[in-house]
Amino acid sequence: MRILVVEDDPVLANGLKIGLGLAGATVDLAETCADARAALETTAYDAVVLDVMLPDGSGLSVLKAMRSGKDRTPVLLLTALDEVSDRIAGLDTGADDYLGKPFDLDELAARVRAVARRGTGRAEPCLSAGGIVLDPSQLAATVGGTPVNLSRREFAVLSALMERPGTIRSKSEIEDRLYGWQEEVESNAIEVHIHNLRAKVGRDAIETVRGLGYRMRPSA
Amino acid sequence: MTSLRKRLFLILVAATGAIWLSAVVWIYVGAKAEVEQVLDTRLQEAARMVSSLVGSGEVAASRAIAAVPGLSPEPASYERQLSCQVWSLDGRLVARSSGAPDARLAENASGFSDRVVEGETWRVYAVENVATGVRVMVGDRLGLRERLVADLIKGLIAPAFLIVPLLGLLIWVSLGRGLRPLNAMADQLQVRAADDMSPIAVGNVPVEVMPLARSLNALFAKVELARRHERDVTAFAAHELRTPLAGLKTQAQIAIAATDPAMKEGALRQILVSVDRTTRLVRQLLAIAKLDAHGVAPDGEQVIVGDLLDEIIAALKPSNTAIQVDVEPALHSFRVRANREILSLALRNLHENALQHMPGGGTVSWRLSLDGQGVIVEDEGPGIPDDELPLVTQRFFRGRHKTVAGTGLGLAIVAIAINRLSARFSLQNRDGRRGVSATISFEEARRAKEDALAGP
């Protein structure tokens, strides 16, 4: 899950990056509206956590621009203004959820998961395909009912594939979901993760489509 | 509450009444003079007529009297006002008209005279006919004359009593119609919501009410601006107070949840940064509350600006050793008369601000302004974007070049403090190089004080 956090307060931004990271998300930080717009143009995010009061303007203007540009990325507004009227204004501008500061980190993570999930058109909290069940809230996986220990990255790769079973995900697509801007990606990192995953969830679960990428093998 | 309608009504009725009254007085005076002249002429003519009739010898005195109209005893209200006496020159009453008194009407030989006879005032004209040896006196009662004039005036006033209420009603109704635009405006204002500060429509407002409508609209605009400013400040304050709390809470939750000791320590360090910043925020909030409570600062003492700066700089030793602070020696002989505490608050916040904006090091230089009336501080930080310059002295405003420790209150405190010192504060980007130049000018404050000293 790749998240864009638009927040200008360095301590809070740092906390969100690490906190959402603990919840299994890859977080990019933007401090201003301009940074946020640039990030949204270049990267596809699963969700955006948007502060309303930013140094160069209102986060709502970013949201408005997104929605008028047909960008359907789920947006959670995070703001100090949590009067009812502010919340209504935020939601009516096109936000998917609203959380007032200060907030509980676990609640924020859950809400981000929820808006991201609905962004993919899915209602059920767990991902399942071919006997594999992923619970994003616990970062827990079971294969045929047996718990399997996955690393954070492995979990992310597997959930990227399982979100749309049958669809081929390219290597760079999976990389984008896994690594933030500043992170160095080794050229064979995805292959390594896939290799390890196959060892844990079963050799046949993930299919390699030569030259295109990977997909979950449709269950027989 | 005074009613405009009542007021106008009273003024109009009083004015109309006054004009009416003066018209009546004028007519009274004019009519009286006219009546007197006419009646005097009649007296004269009657006297001459009787005299000539008596003088011709053909008519006896009593017949002559009866022949003159107005002297004959026919019953008529004004006709019988004339009385005639014919006296022989040796003082014997030869004849008199029927209404005439027995007593002699006039003492003088001829001409007009006023005389009280038998309790009544008479106007008498006497003519002496030496040839026939008689003196003819014709007179009328002044009371009768006055009645004549009074009747005339009564004829004028009587309709007034009928017309005045009608006129009053007409004025009252017209005023109601005339004041309708005002009432319409009042209605428009009355039904609007308490927070509706939109201008009232001035399209069909009469010219006389236009200034009122314009002033109202100007007031609305001012109130709206103040309210928006207040709302902005509240929003900024909420943001600045809640964001660090959110950061603290998030970092604390990470510190609890993290299993990695390095992550735990990182979170705790972030908590420390946030607590420091929040402490500073609280300190500045208290400072601003104090300044708000102050009003204009009480006159302080002579402060040597350079010495005060030395104290502030020593207390705020930058942890960043790449920052150098210069104080121009001339400042050590620059004295201002000011409240030391408030001046110190302004200078300290300016200095802190300069230090905070130079994480990469540089020089903060304090110097005397060119006119020798103020202090200038210049830093080598990133400067302030031009569009933000007018905003940075607003409370809680934090621009694009904000710092970790910034609270958005520093320059607001500076601006308020300097205002309390009756000095002037200006802020601009440095010419041709990076950084901000801030000036505190004491020129006006000093001049004001000199004026006060020079005055009586």
- On whether residue B439 sits in a domain, the answer given is yes
Domain co-membership, B96 together with B227: no
Domain co-membership, B32 together with B149: yes
- pLDDT at res. B356: 83
Q: Which domains does chain A have, with CATH numbers?
A: 2-120 (3.40.50.2300), 127-216 (1.10.10.10)
Domain count, chain B: 3
pTM for this one? 0.62
Provide the residue type at B311 as one letter. Answer: E
- Give, in order, the Cα–Cα distances in Å from B334 to each of A20, B299, B306: 56, 17, 7
Between the two ends of chain B, the Cα-to-Cα distance in Å is: 42
Q: Which residues of A touch B400 (CB under 8 A)?
A: 32, 55-56
- Nearest residue to B64 (alpha-carbon basis) of B93, B97, B111, B42: B97
What the block records as the tokens of B276 is 């420091």
Domain co-membership, B108 together with B231: no
Q: Is the ipTM of this complex over 0.90?
A: no
- On whether residue B122 sits in a domain, the answer given is yes
Q: What is the pLDDT along chain A (220 residues), one digit of tens a residue?
A: 889 999 988 899 999 999 998 888 889 999 889 999 999 998 889 999 999 888 788 899 999 999 999 889 999 998 887 778 888 989 999 999 999 989 999 999 999 999 998 888 888 888 888 788 888 888 888 888 888 888 888 888 888 888 877 788 888 888 888 887 777 777 788 888 888 888 888 888 888 888 888 888 776 4
Between B250, B258, B398, which is nearest A12 by CB?
B250
Domain co-membership, B305 together with B362: yes
Domain co-membership, B24 together with B93: yes
Distance (Å, whole) CA B124 – CA B43: 7
- On whether residue B302 sits in a domain, the answer given is yes
Which chain B residue has the Cα nearest residue A7?
B243
- Inter-chain contact B398–A103, Cβ cutoff 8 Å? no
- On whether residue B205 sits in a domain, the answer given is no
Domain co-membership, B18 together with B122: yes
Q: Does residue A174 sit in helix, strand or coil? A: helix
- On whether residue B72 sits in a domain, the answer given is no
Q: Does residue B104 sit in helix, strand or coil? A: coil
In chain B, % helix, strand, coil (3-state, to 5) comes to 55, 15, 30
* Domain CATH for B155: 3.30.450
Domain around B145: 4-57+82-159
> For chain A, how many helices (H) and strands (E)?
8, 13
Q: How far is B4 from chain A (nearest CA, A)?
A: 43
Domain-ending residue, one of B231, B261, B286: B286
- Nearest residue to A134 (alpha-carbon basis) of A102, A111, A157: A157
Domain-ending residue, one of B125, B159, B193: B159
Is B235 at the interface with chain A, CB within 8 A? yes
Q: How far is B329 from chain A (nearest CA, A)?
A: 38
Domain co-membership, B330 together with B276: no
- Give, in order, the Cα–Cα distances in Å from B392 to each of B127, B345, B396, B413, B422: 108, 17, 8, 11, 20
Strand A140-143, strand A47-51: pairing:
unpaired
What the block records as the tokens of A79 is 């703001």
Q: Which residues of B touch A79 (CB under 8 A)?
A: 239
Is B269 at the interface with chain A, CB within 8 A? no
Neighbouring CB atoms inside 10 A of A147's CB total 10
Domain-ending residue, one of B286, B308, B328: B286
Distance (Å, whole) CA B434 – CA B381: 6
Is B241 at the interface with chain A, CB within 8 A? yes
Domain co-membership, B329 together with B407: yes
Is B154 at the interface with chain A, CB within 8 A? no
What the block records as the tokens of B129 is 């006919």
CB B47 within 8 A of CB B136: yes
Q: Please provide residue A85's backbone torsions phi and psi, each rounded to the nearest 5 degrees.
A: -65, -35
Q: Please provide residue A150's backbone torsions phi and psi, each rounded to the nearest 5 degrees.
A: -115, 145
- On whether residue B63 sits in a domain, the answer given is no
* Domain CATH for B254: 1.10.287.130
- Inter-chain contact A100–B242, Cβ cutoff 8 Å? yes
Can you list the residues of chain B whose pLDDT is less than 70? Answer: 1-2, 55-61, 67-81, 295-299, 398, 403-405, 444-456
- Inter-chain contact B398–A55, Cβ cutoff 8 Å? yes
- On whether residue B195 sits in a domain, the answer given is no
- Inter-chain contact B247–A22, Cβ cutoff 8 Å? no
CB A112 within 8 A of CB A100: no
Mutate to test the interface with B, among A6, A11, A107, A108 (most CBs of B within 10 A): A11
Mutate to test the interface with A, among B231, B240, B243, B270 (most CBs of A within 10 A): B243
Q: Which residues of A touch B231 (CB under 8 A)?
A: none
- pLDDT at res. B71: 64
- pLDDT at res. A36: 93
Q: How far is A167 from chain B (nearest CA, A)?
A: 35
Domain co-membership, B155 together with B14: yes
* Domain CATH for B394: 3.30.565.10
- Nearest residue to B414 (alpha-carbon basis) of B315, B348, B365, B361: B348
Domain co-membership, B266 together with B388: no
Mutate to test the interface with A, among B240, B241, B242 (most CBs of A within 10 A): B242
Domain co-membership, B377 together with B334: yes
Which chain A residue has the Cα nearest residue B387?
A56
Cis peptide bond N-terminal to A165, omega within 30: no
B342-368 pLDDT tens trace: 888 889 988 988 888 887 888 888 988
- On whether residue B65 sits in a domain, the answer given is no
Is A21 at the interface with chain B, CB within 8 A? no
Instruction: Report chain A's C-alpha Rg in angstroms.
Output: 18
Distance (Å, whole) CA B405 – CA B359: 11
Domain co-membership, B136 together with B155: yes
